Chain A
Amino acid sequence: MIQFDNVHKQYSDGTQAVNGLSFEVEEGTTTVLVGPSGCGKTTTMQLVNRLEEPTEGTVYYDGTDIQELPATELRRQIGYVIQDIGLFDHMTIAENVATVPELKGWDDDRTDERVDELLDLMGLPPEEYRESYPGELSGGQQQRVGVARALAAGPDVMLMDEPFGALDPITRENLQDEFLDIQEEIETTIIFVTHDINEALKMGDKIAMMNDGELVQYDTPAAMLEAPATKFVEDFIGPDRTLKQLRVLQVSEIMRTEVPDEHRDVVDAFDPADTVMADGGELIPVTPTDSAQVALSRCIQAGVRALPVVEDATVIGVVTEEDIRGYHADEIEATSE
């Protein structure tokens, strides 16, 4: 969908912001650009919607050199959440969200409907927020409006530059979770910028790690955690790499659908009628989309060596502590070969 081919960007003051970037973002996936401050993430993103032009190399959009696409048309196809939110302070929330539909000449009914739909989606009840002004909203609410505004005209591609930056960790986690849900519905190709490795691991199908304007590694989160390409990547991931691996590993990847006899008891103990909720050290089942980290933590908490995996109130398998540990051991073996 978006392809960088040996792209360089030098600013007029001589700063080499991007240096020989080549990678491809597949349609319908989320690629996260991650790296330290000043490594060229924002510049890379702005090369996609032509806010900046490459000094060398080519960026392709759907196979076409973007230099051949009219800039304003291209930008209206691409949702853009900018790093500093950049809401229009003189417009209401509804007017802000309606920006691109209005530029595209949608009729009023369609625009209004879309605005309400998006405000609902972002957890801002339209009756309450439509007529508010950005100055009346909290930082977190403003970021939600920024995302709604970028989504408004149903873009094919979304560029999100630290969309959840400057938020407290809890609000941030919540917005990340909500956005992952939204993402499943909208199936848009997303380029997401962050300097937080945890956010990158959580949001990305692919991660492009950058340093000093260069692409250091381009991989899936799991692959990057398994085999950091350089010392820089390893350092950027941090010392708790194993824990992070468990966080990106889904229960569905390691669960057993055939319950071994020794763990039959945990499955039998599961009563779909009432045990889904935890109370007083009770066994809490996991779902296939929970992480291995959650599964391991619940095993330790409940003092058991296996947990039932439950979907739609039925047990579909078990996940064992042994398998979680074993999976990791296999990985180490596989990478050292």
Chain B
Amino acid sequence: MSDLISLLAETWAYLLANSARFFELLREHLTLVFVSEALAIIVAVPLGIAATRNDRVNSIVSGFGNVAQTVPTLAVIALAFPILGLGFLPSVVGLFAYSLLPILTNTIAGIESVSDSTVDAARGMGMTDWEILRKVRLPLALPVIFAGIRTSVVLNVGSAYLAFFIGGGGLGVWVIGGIKLFSTTQLLAGAIPGALLAITLDGLLGLAQRRLGTETASDRTAAAA
């Protein structure tokens, strides 16, 4: 127990002593996460929508999804390396590819979970396919899509540690460096902030999701009861 406390104290001291470097690594880490995540959202949501509207897109997307699920993050990043070389760009591409999946599957699931009777009502009242999507399907699917984004962000914070291997920087520099140098303090100084970052982002997004939920139907009955 006292070992652990002294270890944490050492880590804290290490962080204070290297705070400039720490913030640099944290900034790199956050940039990797946010850029790749933003790209993933921009691509996955429309792709998910397209998949629900076209059977061919759907089979391609779900085929890709099934394969992607079995490929480890490291492999994705390793694959990006021979094509794009070293540095920030290949790291973002790797993380982007890995963040796509949860958003994609949730977008498809969210849109398909809208009941047939609701869609029939919308069509029967004279909404065009586009109006049905915009006014009915998407708003009803939004909480599910958002849940996918939340999962994806948390995964992304963890995966971004691996960017170190292809020179993408981030907190992985300290963690992997710490392992190589047998420096537990350096390792923890890199790992703990990442864990806290994941927890914080998850909490914030959870809060936002609940607000979204009260503005749409899913949680309302529970809230009213």
Binding site for B on A (CB under 8 A): 46, 49, 51, 72-76, 80, 82-90, 99-100, 103, 133-136, 149-150, 159
Contact = CB atoms under 8 A, between A and B. Distances in A.
A46 B120 CA distance: 10
B120 A89 contact: no
Nearest to B140: A90
B126 A72 contact: yes
A49 B140 CA distance: 25
Contacts of A76: 125-126
Interface of B: 115, 117-118, 120-128, 131, 135-136, 139-140, 216-217, 220-221, 224
A136 B224 contact: yes
Given A84-B115, A90-B140, A135-B224, 9 more contacts: A51-B123, A72-B126, A74-B126, A75-B123, A84-B117, A86-B122, A88-B136, A135-B217, A136-B224
Given A103-B131, A136-B220, A87 B121 contact: yes
Given A72-B126, A76-B126, A135-B224, A82 B217 contact: no
B206 to A, nearest CB: 20
A82 B117 contact: yes
A11 B48 CA distance: 29
A74 B123 CA distance: 11
* From A49, A72, A159, residue with most partner B Cβ within 10 Å: A72
Contacts of B117: 82-86
Given A86-B117, A86-B121, A100 B126 contact: yes
Contacts of A99: 122, 125, 127
A90 B216 contact: yes
Given A86-B120, A89-B118, A90-B140, A133 B220 contact: yes
Contacts of A49: 124
Given A75-B126, A99-B125, A82 B221 contact: no
* From A74, A75, A76, A149, residue with most partner B Cβ within 10 Å: A75
A135 B140 CA distance: 13
A134 B125 contact: no
A93 to B, nearest CB: 13
B58 to A, nearest CB: 19
A103 B220 CA distance: 26
B124 A80 contact: yes
A86 to B, nearest CB: 3
11 contacts: A49-B124, A51-B124, A72-B127, A73-B126, A80-B124, A82-B121, A84-B120, A85-B121, A87-B118, A88-B122, A103-B125
Contact of B217 (A51, A80, A90): A90
Contacts of A134: 217
Contacts of A73: 126
A236 B131 CA distance: 42
Contacts of B221: 135-136
A88 B118 contact: yes
Nearest to A49: B124
A57 to B, nearest CB: 21
B108 to A, nearest CB: 19
A164 B34 CA distance: 52
Contacts of B224: 135-136
Contacts of A86: 115, 117-118, 120-122
A86 B128 CA distance: 17
**Cβ-closest 7 pairs across A and B:** A86-B121, A89-B217, A75-B126, A84-B117, A76-B126, A80-B124, A86-B117
Contacts of B131: 103
A75 B140 contact: no
A79 B135 CA distance: 19
